[in-house]
């Protein structure tokens, strides 16, 4: 995808006539090579799957990983009236939705795992053209809470609010929200994932999965089951 702020690499697997599509934002350090079988599995089931190489995620799209350094640089851009990288990454998912929708004329879901799930939640909240949201091993960043606890106000709070996925959750309804979290997640505690889910409005579904952190084949099976229930008439 060509943008005014640089090229963003995407990969697409799709049947000729998909029933629906997924725009996927990977977690930290996830490369497309780890998702090839997944993409083929979704395409074989009748669904297009676009992998968006998030800016700064260590893949082919340049940028800075989400870190204290990026937060500070993004805040400086925010104060100067420039576009933070975080906002650009969300726009990349919106652009990907438009590309897939225009190509196939099918419903497109925003989906992401871990950090990618946070970007995808914001994208689904700000773009009503997404058909729904799927988050795996996700919670808020916690930036807003820490900013308030440290006594900040004004622009720091406004910026922190703008990047928290939970800020946008109520805007997704009446489109569906599906959250998946492993009880033994060692990175984002299960309780944090459940608390994040509780902020969403109906219709919503919370599901445990076998594993630890991040998307796996068990999650894929559950997602494909949800999609089959919705689009069975198109098979």
Please give, one letter per residue, the 3-state secondary structure of 163-195: HCHHHHHHHCCCCCEEEEECCCCCCCCHHHHHH
Which CATH number covers residue 180? 3.40.50.1820
Establish if 176 belongs to a structural domain. Answer: yes
Mean of all residue pLDDT scores within the chain: 96
What tokens were used for 60?
């082919």
User: What is the Cα Rg of the chain in Å?
Assistant: 17
Establish if 153 belongs to a structural domain. Answer: no
Please give the sequence-ordered ranges of beta strands (E in DSSP) within the chain, or none if there are none.
2-3, 6-7, 10-13, 20-25, 47-52, 108-113, 132-136, 177-181, 204-208
Establish if 205 belongs to a structural domain. Answer: yes
Establish if 14 belongs to a structural domain. Answer: yes
Q: Nearest CA to 100 among 178, 33, 165, 19? A: 19
Q: Nearest CA to 117 among 136, 98, 141? A: 136
Tell me the C-alpha distance between 215 and 209, whole Å.
Answer: 9
Cβ atoms of 105 and 129 closer than 8 Å: no
Cβ atoms of 127 and 150 closer than 8 Å: no
Q: Is the pLDDT of residue 120 over 90?
A: yes
pLDDT at 234: 53
Establish if 151 belongs to a structural domain. Answer: no
Q: Is the pLDDT of residue 235 over 70?
A: no
pLDDT tens, residue by residue, 72-103: 999 999 999 999 999 999 999 999 999 999 99
Domain around 189: 2-70+91-142+165-234
Establish if 150 belongs to a structural domain. Answer: no
Establish if 83 belongs to a structural domain. Answer: no
- Per DSSP bridges, beta strands 108-113 and 20-25 are parallel
Tell me the C-alpha distance between 142 and 164, whole Å.
Answer: 7
Count up the domains in the chain and report the number.
1
Mean pLDDT of 16-28: 97
Prediction pTM value? 0.96
Q: Is the pLDDT of residue 13 over 60?
A: yes
Q: Nearest CA to 35 among 55, 56, 63, 54? A: 54
pLDDT at 66: 85
Establish if 159 belongs to a structural domain. Answer: no
Q: Is the dihedral of CA 32, 169, 47, 183 positive or negative?
A: positive
């Amino acid at each position: 995808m060509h943008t005014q702020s640089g090229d963003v690499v995407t990969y697409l697997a799709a049947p000729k006539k998909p029933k629906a599509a997924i725009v996927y934002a990977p977690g930290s350090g996830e490369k497309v090579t780890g998702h090839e079988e997944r993409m083929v599995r979704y395409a074989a089931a009748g669904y297009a799957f676009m992998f968006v190489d998030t800016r700064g995620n260590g893949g082919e799209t340049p940028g800075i990983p989400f870190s204290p350094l990026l937060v500070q640089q993004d805040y400086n851009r925010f104060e100067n009236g420039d576009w933070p990288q975080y906002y650009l990454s969300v726009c990349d998912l919106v652009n990907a939705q438009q590309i897939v929708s225009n190509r196939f004329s099918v419903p497109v879901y925003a989906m992401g795992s871990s950090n990618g799930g946070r970007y995808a939640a914001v994208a689904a909240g700000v773009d009503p053209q997404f058909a729904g949201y799927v988050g795996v091993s996700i919670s808020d960043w916690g930036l807003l809470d820490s900013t308030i606890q440290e006594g900040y106000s004004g622009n720091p709070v406004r910026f922190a609010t703008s990047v928290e996925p939970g800020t946008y959750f109520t805007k997704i309804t009446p489109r569906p929200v599906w959250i998946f979290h492993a009880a033994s997640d060692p990175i984002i505690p299960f309780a944090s994932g459940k608390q994040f889910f509780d902020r969403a409005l109906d219709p919503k579904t919370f599901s445990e999965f076998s594993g630890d952190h991040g998307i796996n084949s068990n999650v894929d099976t559950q997602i494909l089951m949800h999609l089959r229930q919705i689009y069975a008439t198109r098979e």
